[in-house]
Structure 1
């Protein structure tokens, strides 16, 4: 197995929304806001070579939205989904599977692109199976008013129309070396891949821990649908990470890709953070 970091650029979100009830005097020390109270966040994906499979976990925001849409999020940085995949020596046609943690626009936007003539929306990866689960699919295609702006039909429906969409059952995984944790605090049935790499486990944190700054239990986004459940799920996953010495991989942390945790008097906290390669045994 080989694991590649796929950078898809950065975007900005309101700091208060990203840190919920945590006072700005605390979170601003971690990820300082600009004059509009916006903080920069990564959209970091993984590409996993495992036998004959080439598995992409999440796809970033993509580039098919209009200028008005991007003006809300200030997409910036030189990297894109496809350029990063190509930098690793692959083409879109090489991807065999796309595992979507959930269907918010900053995780699924790159899964679909305009056709060459601009007449329709097609899956970006023509030979890939796209994986979600039925409960989350129903949640995303019949969104509640609060979450509706995050579930864009143009990101989601073309996957079903293409015939490339598949559902994963609870407690199942289509991948030999990737397990899945299902959590419901952020959104219904978000899936966290747990990657068995050599003798280590890597937990792809998606939006349960969007960054290393969100490891303390009360540091929860205002975007979460069920914040108390998020707190319970964070505690459970952190305990697993501590007990099994799992590596936490952060999708949105603007600086740090990964971390290990330790037990402290204040609870489970970051022990060390840095690049993923710093924690993977050679």
Structure 2
């Protein structure tokens, strides 16, 4: 098995939205905002070479949206999905599986592209993986998430027949996706988000998606106002962090523009903080 970091564009979101009820005087020390209160964030994907499979976890925002839509998020940086794949010797046609943690536009937008006047899956040879519970949640979005679940990102996947669903166990326990990848289900951010948990070089790497968007969100009450069920996020994050500490997990951050991966420890005040930060290339 081999892991490759796939960097796509950077973007900006409102700092208050990223930290909810936590005062700016506190969170701004960890993730500084610009003069417009916007924080820089990554849309970092993960590519897994696992025997004959080439699995891409999430796809970034893509480029099919109009200029008005994309301008809201101040996209910048030189990285794109195509460039990052090419850096590691791959193209979109090589991808065998696209694993979608959830269907918010900054995670699934790159899964669909314009083909002439039509929309079609970006990865022509891939199976796309979601779960039926989250899929149905996204197809009929609530008022708070309607701006995040966009039909143009979702319906073409179903129409293509490339979409398959992962079965969720009744007790939401960890299940196997491959011999080396398990799936953790969490529902505080959005219903039945899936976090891949990868066994790699005798370590466990967890793609934490929006359960913990950045290293600045390690503190328990630091959660985004985008979360549908904040108290559930706190509970899920607390349980996960205790497990990650006990088992020395490596966390892979999708949205932290500075910290790609880290291990954890507790500081002198008993707070969970970054112990060591590094990249996937540094994992030994």
Please indicate the TM-score interval, normalised by the length of the shorter structure. Answer: over 0.9
1:196 to 186, 196, 199: 199
Distance 2:22 2:280 in 1: 27
5 Å matches for 1:133-148?
Answer: 133-148=131-146
Distance 2:121 2:106 in 1: 16
Tell me by how many angstroms 1:76 deviates: 0.6
Distance 1:20 1:168 in 2: 31
2:240 to 199, 221, 237: 237
- 1:36-91 CA-to-partner distances (Å, cap 9, x unmatched) read 11111000000000100000000000000001001110011111111111111111
Kept after mapping to 1: 8 A contact 2:4/2:280: no
**1:274 and 2:278 are equivalent in the alignment:** yes
For the aligned residues, what is the CA RMSD? 1.0
**1:128 and 2:126 are equivalent in the alignment:** yes
SS in structure 1 opposite 2:17? helix
- 1:101-152 CA-to-partner distances (Å, cap 9, x unmatched) read 000000000000011xx22111000000000001000000010011000000
Tell me by how many angstroms 1:98 deviates: 0.3
Report the TM-score when normalising by structure 1.
0.96
SS in structure 2 opposite 1:73? coil
Distance 2:39 2:271 in 1: 26
Runs of 4+ in 1 over 6 A off after TM superposition: none
Report the TM-score when normalising by structure 2.
0.96
Tell me by how many angstroms 1:17 deviates: 0.2
Tell me by how many angstroms 1:175 deviates: 1.7
**1:20 and 2:20 are equivalent in the alignment:** yes
Tell me by how many angstroms 1:2 deviates: 0.6
Uncovered stretches (5+) of structure 1, i.e. residues with no partner: none
Length, aligned pairs only = 278
